Amino acid sequence: MTAGGFFAAAPDAALAALFVPFDVGELRLPADGRALFLRARAGMRLREMAQPGWLCEQGFLPFADELGRNGLRVGEPAADEKFPLVLLLPPRQRDEARALFARALRHLAPGGTVLAAMPNAEGAKSGEADLTKLAGAVQHLSKHKCRAFWSTPQPADVDQDLLAEWLGLDAPRTIVDGYVSRPGLFAWDRIDRASALLAEHLPANLHGRVADLGAGYGYLSTQVIARCPRVDALDLYEAEARALEPARTNLARAKRECGRELATTLYWHDVTRGLAQRYDAIVSNPPFHQGRADLPELGRAFIVSAAEALLPDGRLLIVANRHLPYEAVLASRFHEVRALVVREGFKVIEAVGVRG
């Protein structure tokens, strides 16, 4: 945990494994000191290896902030920018990972090397096989229960048709009920059951300015628009930048379908660091894990931020897995706390009246 939030980017085995090829002499850092690190994560090994010419790309804001606090340059490469070394930590979701491999090759300079690392238990062999399909010959090393694999392809080695196809895998796409999402987002290809339960129990008398914390591709916000006609302003907070474009599309459709005007704003923001606005009501399906590890402190941090942002008579509506221990922090922050429904392993809780 950092002073500002619970999402600090802790060093992990994949990051350590990523630099093993340099440690054992299989690879050398570029002479010009330039590299692109896609899906970069902060950690001791990165601080040891990174040079001033490295550019770290990270769309999850808490991780991006941690990279910046470590003195690393964070941003996005220009569309035509090329690097002699492209590093990446591919995600578990395969379509998202394939799109990332394709982006890595698009930004690779002639004669350059693309290097990835993945935990063995999270698809490392599949990731290596995908890079092989795309770039040709691949080498690998195993360490820390992870696999580092790399390729230094000639232009003729790269399957350009496959590269174009895989670049498109990251594009927002229609999933169910007309919603737009993209691979790798939370519940990206469906309507999350917990969020649907909360939507079913949204009070029609919600009014004024409302916030959706951890909005994802915007499902809950669209339901607020459809079910709560007295809401006249709606702010969405989401830490994953890749979710913002689908959310914007889904909001636009929801406003067209409801046939009324209301102000909507999307914020790329880490909710655990607090909110700048004050609200009449807040809705949330707060995260309670980081990667595969349960971390209920995340949900509690969302509750604290919500309580601090609500007006004195404001209302918080959250949904959570039934076993998560949120009641104590809710009772410490609100005068009234009650469960609206407990069903299918989830609970919808309403908290009203912020304690001074």
> Which CATH number covers residue 333?
3.40.50.150
**Over the chain, what is the mean pLDDT?**
94
Q: Do 47 and 187 share a domain, yes or no?
A: no
Residue 6 in this model has a pLDDT that exceeds 50: no
Spatial separation of the C-alpha atoms in residues 317 and 310, rounded to whole Å: 12
Grouping H, G, I as helix, E, B as strand and the rest as coil, residue 333 is helix
Say if residue 55 is exposed, middle or buried (CB neighbours under 10 Å; 0-12, 13-18, 19+): buried
Tally of domains in the chain = 2
Q: What is the largest CA-CA distance in the chain?
A: 67
Residue 121 in this model has a pLDDT that exceeds 60: yes
User: What pLDDT shows up at residue 1?
Assistant: 31
Which of 7-21, 238-252, 303-317 has the weakest average pLDDT? 7-21
Q: Do 262 and 279 share a domain, yes or no?
A: yes
**Domain residue limits at 101:** 13-170
User: What pLDDT shows up at residue 8?
Assistant: 41
**Is 277 a member of any domain?**
yes
Spatial separation of the C-alpha atoms in residues 223 and 323, rounded to whole Å: 25
Pairing of strands 34-38, 53-57: parallel
> Model confidence at 294, in pLDDT bands (50, 70, 90)?
low
Token couple for 327: 């009641």
Residue 2 in this model has a pLDDT that exceeds 70: no
Residue 208 in this model has a pLDDT that exceeds 50: yes
- Residue among 301, 349, 302 nearest 322 (CA): 349
Token couple for 237: 């907070």
| 276 touches 270 (CB < 8 A) | no
Residue 316 in this model has a pLDDT that exceeds 60: yes
* Average confidence (pLDDT) over 54-65: 97
- The pTM of the full predicted model, rounded to 2 decimals, is 0.93
Listed residues 133, 150, 170: the one ending a domain = 170
| 310 touches 282 (CB < 8 A) | yes
- Residue among 283, 143, 272 nearest 213 (CA): 283
> Model confidence at 293, in pLDDT bands (50, 70, 90)?
low
